[in-house]
Structure 1
Amino acid sequence: MTTPIERDDRKTAGVVAARATPRSNSQRIETFTQAREVLRDKAMVQAGGGAEYFDTSDPASTPVFFLDGADHKKKRADIARYFTPKAIETRYSHIMRRVTDEQITELRRTGTGQIDVMSFDLAVAVAADIVGLTVTDRKKMAKRLAMSLSAAFYHKFDLLSRLSVKARKFFNQIDFYFNDVRPTIRARREKPEDDIISHLIALGLSDRAIMMECMTYAAAGMVTTREFIVIAAWHMFESDELRARFLASSEREQEAILLEILRLEPIAAFLYRRAGDDASPIKAICSHQVNTDPEAVGECPFALDPDRTSKIKGRGEFLSFGDGAHHCPGWQVALHETRVFLDALLRVPGIRLHRAPDIGWSEMLQSYELRKAIVMCDPLG
């Protein structure tokens, strides 16, 4: 593909420029080299999501996101088996294909579908299997989680509407706990499975601690994968050349294309780290600027170039999934399910983007949200 210097293929740059705001007490990191040094520095600890205020005195009951050092390393090692390429191939691939087939069948039956809804159902199915949330109705659970974790257009509401949204989010989290988490805990206590909830029960964690773990995986594994799928689909639908190349490529080449899209459109705007032993400023790593640093990614940094990593002999993920000790453990799962879903979706006869998604912003996650991405196809029969 051609990559003229003037070209800017980003679709979320506008909302990022307008809404992405680092913490007021932070020092912004905008170069790839500096960012990687901070992320790999063993003296730096997690500072995102209120980590510095989280009580980690009981590491066993603390979600891995908030831990550092030896406790973090041990907990990562305990769950590593759920995110290996072997687990993806032998366990999750068939779930991805089954749910994708369900979605495509319904799309072809009706002639229309909403990518963000379809992709969230897929992301919930896969993450739920990893966590163990498989004993209740997946569709109902997805609706509860979607409401609990969504915040894209919250800033546009008036005070009364904001209060209403807060109440709905709160009650949906309660519903999630009583209708999904608690029944799963009961079932796994009676009959453990090879999943994270069974593992946490074996460690003696309380129901509250398990609920916190479930919400962490929901935010990290379900929400971000949905956005990844929608942004990648949007790029494919609006570039016949890119779409044709994706469909003609090997699995490895398809993954390279997806990683290049994510380089341009990283979902989380900031990664935060702080020195563990002093009061120095928190480091705010700006993913969008780091991933478009010409010193690291080469020329034409705002152009979508599937051949970029081969030109610079680098890693296609750059810092889209973080780096260092807190490098995203499930990144290969997200990449694989995105590839499986899009490969099937883009092969549907007559498939086309009927409505580009609305772009919103989550203040809580400091990430873009894409909604109401409508596709149409030639219906069956």
Structure 2
Amino acid sequence: MTRTSTWQQILDPSHRADPYPLYTELRKTPVVRVEDGTYVVSTYREIVSLLHDPRLSSDARNLPEVGADAAAHADEEGFPGLPPNFIRIDPPEHDRIRRLLTRDFGPPHRPGRIDGMMPDLLRIVTSLIDDFTAKDGSGTDGSGTVRVDIVDDFAYPFPVAVICELLGVPREDEPRFQVMSGAVIETADPTTGGLAERQRRRAKAVADLGQYFAQLLDARHGRRGDDLLSGLLSGDSDEAPMSHEEILSNAALLLVAGHETTVNLVTNGMLTLLRHPEVLDRLRLGDEPDLAARVVEELLRYEPPVQFLSSGRNTLDDIEIAGTTIPRGSPVALVLASGSRDPDFVPDPDRFDPDRDHNEHLGFGGGVHYCFGAPLARPETQIALTQLAHRLKNPRLVADPPPYRASPSLRGPRHLLVEIDGVDPA
């Protein structure tokens, strides 16, 4: 089996339920050039090295044929272009925008923002689980067998409600931005076309979301609240504020990234717990105060929502790594999920073990682009899984493996059907 055929199998939807044996094969050659010219990096230490290497750029405009082609297509289609969001640019521009976003998201300026959201997170989760009893004719006392879809009935609406509240987006707009968000996510899938084509489609999808946020901001006209968008509009900072276009581009990113990856993390988490009932029972008992946190960290290593980073990453200079020279101007894919299961770094990597010591993983990436939303995604998932474990009576999988989403990079079940014998009171 050649390395290129291994990568093609990883991209093939038929292997979505369990790509990990393929990652084992891929790691035999830590850095490999695949059919489309991308250099795929699959081992932990090499991935960490590149995540911290300033010669690896996240700005697709450093590939002239991509940037120019995307701009020309934008003009032809007649929609306004937006600047790249902060995860698609390099320092120092990246650092300025990230600092401005952080002012209204967390420390040092808003140290209590996330902690202050905890009661609302619990309220949303409690309401969603309460609604399970209304399905399939089950009584409100929780009696009777109920079939629920953990994705549609819980893991999707929960982070959507949270990110809407954080940003100040009307919850009733969800059907509208779901379509636009899905279009953005699709462009991260390397099986849906070449890089230049996906950059064009991404520009169109982000522009659509930008137009949505432009209408939303125009409707406010001074009626600003305590949400993140209001904070960005206030421009209350010692450094140059974001332009209107930068606000639109980064608001679109936060809306998409703020729920899509958490959906997968919660769903992958519940699937993993149902496959490991001994851990689910421990979580249900509630005798270990730090167990939920350890479960989530192990999930980020064992079944991460983001499998690899690829779109737009390219080398600004020749980089020699693991005996291979990646030439200047080459696209690079970092297979985070493979690195987190690298046996040269993690003992017994294919075992789900929330009790492992020194659990280091790549579930939130690393370097300057370490996941901005990690401080929120962690407690979201901890609360979600804890409440599901506490309240669902005798949960069991309807199908294993469940059907998966098409994307190989943002990996998670499309549906996760679970039967329960009702729910316990909150």
Same fold, judged at TM 0.5 (above): yes
2:91 corresponds to which residue?
A: 69
Q: How far apart, in 2, do the equivalents of 1:172 and 1:188 lie?
A: 21
Q: Do structure 1's residue 268 and structure 2's residue 306 form an aligned pair?
A: yes
CA positional deviation for 1:17: 4.2
Equivalence for 1:215:
252
How does 1:242-281 map onto structure 2 within 5 Å? 242-247=279-284, 248=286, 250-272=288-310, 273-276=313-316, 279-281=328-330
Distance 1:28 1:284 in 2: 5
- Mapped to 2, the partners of 1:191 and 1:104 lie a distance apart of 34
Of the three residues 46, 51, 54, the one matched with 1:39 is 51
Q: How does 1:1-381 map to 2 (within 5 A)?
A: 12-14=17-19, 17=22, 24-46=36-58, 52=63, 53=66, 61-81=83-103, 82-84=105-107, 86-90=112-116, 92-110=117-135, 111-117=146-152, 118-133=154-169, 135-137=170-172, 139-141=174-176, 143-144=178-179, 147-148=182-183, 151=186, 181-201=213-233, 202=235, 203=241, 205-206=243-244, 209-247=246-284, 248=286, 250-272=288-310, 273-276=313-316, 279-298=328-347, 300-308=348-356, 310=357, 314=358, 316-356=359-399, 357-362=402-407, 366-379=409-422
In the TM superposition, residue 274 of structure 1 has moved relative to its aligned partner by: 3.1
Q: 1:54 to 1:214 in 2, by over 3 A?
A: farther
3-state secondary structure, aligned to 1:113 = strand
The SS at the match of 1:369 is coil
**Paired AA for residue 236 in structure 1:** L
Greater alpha carbon shift after TM alignment, 138-147 vs 240-249: 138-147
Does the 8 A contact of 2:16 with 2:411 survive in 1? Answer: no
Mapped to 1, the partners of 2:180 and 2:394 lie a distance apart of: 28
Matches of 2:58 and 2:176, distance apart in 1: 30
Secondary structure of 1:225 counterpart: helix
User: 3-state SS of the aligned residue for 2:40?
Assistant: strand
Contact 1:188 1:198 (C-alpha < 8 Å) held by counterparts: no
Note closer, same or farther for the CA distance 1:212–1:79 as it changes in structure 2 (3 Å cut). Answer: closer
How far is 1:239 from its partner?
1.8
Post-superposition Cα deviations, 1:66-123, rounded to whole Å, max 9, x if no partner, equal 1211111111111224145632111x21221121111011012323422112211111
Structure 1 residues without counterparts, runs of 5 or longer: 1-9, 158-166
* Cα distance in 2 between the residues matched to 1:139 and 1:62: 24
Q: Distance in 1 between matches of 2:206 and 2:101?
A: 27
Matches of 1:31 and 1:155, distance apart in 2: 20
CA 1:24–1:155 in 2, change beyond 3 Å: closer, same or farther? Answer: closer
AA at the equivalent of 2:159: A
CA offsets per residue over residues 127-156 of structure 1, 9 Å max, x none? 2223221x351553565456545659x999
1:289-312 deviations in Å (ceiling 9; x for gaps): 2111112212x211111122x1xx
Distance 1:146 1:62 in 2: 16
Q: Residue in 1 aligned with 2:142?
A: none
Corresponding residue pairs, total: 342
Change (3 A) 1:171 1:137: same
Q: Flag the 1:274–1:139 CA change in 2: closer, same or farther, 3 A.
A: closer
- 1:285 offset after TM fit, Å? 1.4
Matches of 2:174 and 2:205 in 1, distance apart?
A: 17
Cα RMSD (Å) = 3.8
Quickly say closer, same or farther: Cα 1:139–1:72, change in 2 above 3 A.
closer
Higher share of residues assigned helix? 1
Offset, 1:126 = 1.5
In 1, Cα distance between the equivalents of 2:124 and 2:159? 10
Query: In 1, distance between residues paired with 2:168 and 2:365?
Result: 25
> Distance in 1 between the 2:267 and 2:227 partners?
28
- Counterpart-to-counterpart distance in 1, 2:393 and 2:371: 36
Return closer, same or farther for 1:293/1:14 CA change in 2, 3 Å cut-off: closer
- Give the SS at the match of 1:347: helix
Q: Distance in 1 between matches of 2:308 and 2:206?
A: 27
Which moved further from structure 2: 265-274 or 275-284?
275-284
Please tell me whether the aligned partners of residues 148 and 173 of structure 1 are also in contact (alpha carbons under 8 angstroms): no
Q: Name which structure has the greater RCO, CA cutoff 8 Å, separation 6+.
A: 1
Structure 1: distance between partners of 2:315 and 2:388 = 45
Q: Tell me the TM-score normalised to structure 2 length.
A: 0.69
